Amino acid sequence: MGFLQLLKSQFLCHLFMCYVFLVSGLIINLLQLCTLPLWLVSKQLARRVNIRLGYCISSQMVAALEWWSGTECTLYTDPKSYQLYGKENAIVVLNHAFEIDFLCGWTFCERFGVLGSSKVLAKKDLSYVPVIGWMWYFLEIVFCKRKWEEDRRTVAESLQNLHDYPESFWFLLFCEGTRFTQKKHQISMQVAESKGLPKLKYHLLPRTKGFWVTVQNLRGTATAVYDSTLNFRDKETPTLRGILNGKKYHADLYVRRIPLELIPEDEAECAAWLHKLYQEKDTFQEHYSKTGRYPGPTVTPPRRPWSLINWLFWSSLLLYPLVLLLTQLISSGSILTILVTVVLCSAASLGVSWMIGQTEIDRGSTYGTKEVPLNNN
């Protein structure tokens, strides 16, 4: 193990990165709160300010992936579509089997200049996660309870609000609705069977309602669907803790650009279209598992320095008060003050650990584990 790798695995380094992330994140959340009056004066300006503030948070995690762990992200796509990435609004459909798939998504957003404005249809529980979840309120992220009766109205309304969004955005949809586990796969294939649909090997059966409502409400706003399929080389199972430890992964992303007007408007036809898309995605994963690559050429956008510069800025800003606090603490000699500080640090460390836990599949929700009657048709 080289010196740098040894350094990256040190708990103190992780503690410092988490300190910077948490403190800068809370400062940014506070600044976002301060933009509330601006929404009344100029909504577009408030949105642009929040895009930049949001960038300061999400790009820290991107920096951890790109610069700290050095993870390589290869893009498989056709060069003609590549020209349009980052220059149009698009709906991104991505498979959901890895703990850091959202982070790889963010990395591509960063490389195409749409990180601050990126959007997602996220489960409501994530809106309570400090820093990231709170930031999302100000970025007009669309939340769902995964209860269609409630979601159909709220999701449509939130999507309608994006009609006059001032900057290009990618709207991410994990149509599988939850992360892949063997149990969820087995149950969703029972549903597929009951609906007379072909079985999928690498994906859960997609939930079609969210896709349909998104396409319908973003017609005229978004111009394309980016069908994206992600995998990692040599059966790597990447984790956020691995990234913090400086572990390097190798992500491959296959993106096909599909013009939005090719997607049927009728709900049933749109659902059938999505099921067909997932059958195709399954064949791409089969191709990947056999050959170790996706079909077609690779055109990889280079990583940009901004995420690193942003992280260095916040680190240098927050290093000084940390050193000051520690020296004052030690020189005070007060056992009580030291004890209180240790308790506060442990609480913050547990808090971050809980946040990281949100990304772990083993701690995932039970959504999609309910057995359904076989004759559902």
Ligand X SMILES: CCCCCCCCCCCCCCCCCC(=O)OC[C@@H](O)COP(=O)(O)O
Pick the binder of ligand X from 168, 190, 358, 369 (CB under 6 A): 358
By the rule CB under 6 A, 228 interacts with ligand LBKI3ST6: yes
51 binds, among ligand X, ligand LBKI3ST6, none (CB under 5 to 8 A by kind): none
Q: Which of 347, 361, 354, 325 lies closest to 131 in space, CA to CA?
A: 354
Q: How far apart are CA 59 and CA 358, in angstroms?
A: 18
Instruction: Provide the minimum distance between the beta carbon of 240 and ligand X in the complex, in angstroms, as a whole number.
Output: 7
Contacts of ligand X in 3-32 (CB under 6 A): 17-18, 21
Type of residue at 248: K
202, 285 Cβ separation under 8 angstroms? yes
Binds ligand X by CB under 6 A, chosen from 8, 47, 111, 179? 179
- Give how many residues touch ligand X by CB under 6 A: 22
Within residues 71-110, the interface with ligand X by CB under 6 A covers 102
Q: Which two tokens stand for residue 158?
A: 């939130």
Q: For the CA atoms of 60, 66, 69, 72, what is the dihedral angle to 10 degrees?
A: 150
Question: What is the C-alpha to C-alpha distance for residues 78 and 53, in angstroms, rounded to an integer?
Answer: 33
For residues 326 and 357, give the distance between their C-alpha atoms in angstroms, rounded to a whole number.
29
Answer for which of 76, 85, 112, 174 binds ligand X (CB under 6 A) is 174
Select the residue whose beta carbon is closest to ligand LBKI3ST6 and give its number: 210
Q: Which is nearer to ligand LBKI3ST6, 57 or 255 (CB)?
A: 255
Select the binding partner of residue 120 from ligand LBKI3ST6, ligand X, none (C-beta < 5 to 8 A, by kind): ligand LBKI3ST6
Residue 55 interacts with ligand X (CB under 6 A): yes or no: no
Q: Among residues 25, 54, 210, 238, which is the contact residue for ligand LBKI3ST6, using CB under 6 A? A: 210
Choose, by CB under 6 A, the member of 23, 26, 129, 312 that binds ligand X.
129
Q: Which residues would be at the binding site for ligand LBKI3ST6 (CB under 6 A)?
A: 92, 94, 102, 105-106, 108-109, 118, 120-123, 126, 144, 146-148, 151, 170, 172-175, 177, 187-188, 191, 204-205, 207-211, 226, 228, 255, 368, 372, 376
Binding site for ligand X (CB under 6 A): 17-18, 21, 60-61, 64, 102, 123, 126, 129, 132, 174, 178-179, 352, 355-356, 358-359, 364-365, 367
